[in-house]
Amino acid sequence: MKKALAILYSPKTLVDFIWYYHTFGIEYSWDVICVPCGGKVIIDKYCVNSEIFSNVYLSDPLYKTMSLKEMAILFGKMSFAWITRKKKRFVQRYFEKYIEKLDYDLHLVPSEYSVLCGLLISLSSEVDTVILEDGLGDYADKSKNFSLEYGINIENISSFFLSFMGYGSGVGDAHYRNKPSCLCIKYVVHPEWMLYRNYKEIRVLRELTNTNVDAWKKCLRKTFCVNGDQKFVGDVILFTTPLESFSGLSVQELVDDVIQYIIYKYNPQKIYIKKHHRDNMKYIFPSAIEVNEIEKNIPGELILDLIQCKKHIYMYPSNMLVSYKDYTKCDILKFKKLIKQSNTYKEIFEKTILQVKLPHESLSEL
């Protein structure tokens, strides 16, 4: 039986992988490397629940969370391997920290924006490679030249040179062109939105023509312990985001603003809260409102068809928005305080709003 290796880091990436497995990947014996997300590995138990993988491995922290000394050492080794044309051997040795031997017929990665994924992509001339959709950033163009938009800093400089060497831009916020990607098959929900198109193929993610739908849905429910007959019926569902990623302000102050906005605009009797898996804030509503919190490690995409709420409120233009056919139920919040205080928030918000073509009436300023 042919062997395949996946790299996964979040519940959403596992959901997309399970679709791929039940559509194209069932002929392979799969191993997986679980990468830390938000500082810790959170999906290894779900990978075990899926009963798909022969081996579940854990990786070290991501490049961007390393110390400067660790970054410099790894960057130096990758550069030396590229200069001496021994990149393949370097990649094999690097992965031997996690797995017995890098000897697979297929590699699957959730994005192009981590060093570990970039290392596998660099082998795409020899091993079939699949890249899944990472999020809204996939729909932005990729720069060939160094971008000053993200500043002159260690992350941006490293990202540019790693891409130049064919390791992918897996460090900073800038996404640079990575030549080995042209040999990979890319899956996204909306291929027609893609600005950067230099891939072997661009295919539709979660397209069900070739999918064993019954087995796929059964596997998803088993993996995340979701009851497919359950419905989320209420006035409002709130999808949160870890605002501390952008803010030096009091995050609790912003959360309180959201709560007051929901109370006064929608006067809900019953709400659901679906937290982002890195959001640890408390959302305290008046006792007269029935509040139900959904397990935050369950991907929103998995329950979207089960939600029967009048309004879907997002604290950020989430990756989930690409799964909507229309946005009439959506209310995406834009924080004026963050627009003034954080250039990163302002730039990312404006770009992602354009990418998903959100109508103006779906936006609300706080």
Mean per-residue pLDDT of the chain: 86
- Domains defined along the chain, listed by start: 2-223 (3.40.50), 226-365 (3.40.50)
In the predicted model, is pLDDT for residue 320 greater than 90? no
pLDDT band at 145 (very low <50, low <70, confident <90, very high): confident
Q: 3-state class of 118 per DSSP?
A: helix
In the predicted model, is pLDDT for residue 150 greater than 80? no
Does 160 or 48 have the greater pLDDT score?
Answer: 48
In the predicted model, is pLDDT for residue 40 greater than 80? no
Report pLDDT for 267. 94
In the predicted model, what is the mean pLDDT of residues 279-306?
A: 88
Report pLDDT for 163. 83
pLDDT in tens, 47-99: 999 999 999 998 876 666 677 787 788 888 989 999 999 989 999 999 988 89
Report pLDDT for 193. 81
In the predicted model, is pLDDT for residue 221 greater than 70? yes
Report pLDDT for 43. 86
Mean pLDDT is highest, among 4-13, 68-77, 319-328, for 4-13
In the predicted model, what is the mean pLDDT of residues 331-349?
A: 79
CA atoms of 187 and 169, how far apart (whole Å): 18
First to last CA, the chain: 55
In the predicted model, is pLDDT for residue 189 greater than 70? yes
Q: Residue 20: enclosing H or E segment and its boundaries?
A: helix 11-20
- Which neighbouring-strand residues pair with 291? 271
Report pLDDT for 306. 86
In the predicted model, what is the mean pLDDT of residues 306-318?
A: 89
pLDDT in tens, 99-137: 988 999 999 999 887 888 889 999 999 999 999 998 767
pLDDT band at 143 (very low <50, low <70, confident <90, very high): confident
Contact at 8 Å (CB) between 5 and 57?
A: no
Report pLDDT for 200. 95
In the predicted model, is pLDDT for residue 271 greater than 90? yes
In the predicted model, what is the mean pLDDT of residues 174-200?
A: 87
Alpha-carbon distances, residue 187 vs 13, 182, 201 (angstroms): 12, 13, 8
Which residues make Cβ contacts (< 8 Å) with residue 229, sequence separation at least 6? none
Contact at 8 Å (CB) between 274 and 226?
A: no
Report pLDDT for 170. 63
Contact at 8 Å (CB) between 60 and 37?
A: no
Nearest residue to 249 (alpha-carbon basis) of 363, 345, 151 = 345
Q: How many CB atoms lie within 10 A of CB 338?
A: 20
pLDDT band at 3 (very low <50, low <70, confident <90, very high): very high
Report pLDDT for 152. 79
pLDDT in tens, 165-185: 888 766 656 678 888 889 999
In the predicted model, what is the mean pLDDT of residues 264-268?
A: 94
Q: Residue 161: enclosing H or E segment and its boundaries?
A: helix 154-164
Q: What is the percent of the chain with per-residue pLDDT over 90, rounded to a whole number?
A: 40
pTM of the model: 0.81
Report pLDDT for 249. 61
Report pLDDT for 194. 85
Q: Which residues of 109-146 are buried (b: 16+ CB within 10 A; e: fewer)?
A: bbbbbbbbbbbbbbbbeebbbbbbbbbbbbbbebbeeb
- What is the DSSP code string of 188-245? ES-GGG-S---SSEEEETT--TT--HHHHHHHHHHHHT--TT--EEEEEEEE---GGG
Does 362 or 58 have the greater pLDDT score?
Answer: 58
Report pLDDT for 234. 94
In the predicted model, is pLDDT for residue 361 greater than 80? no
In the predicted model, is pLDDT for residue 39 greater than 70? no
The phi, psi pair for 300, rounded to 5°, reads -60, -35
Report pLDDT for 313. 95
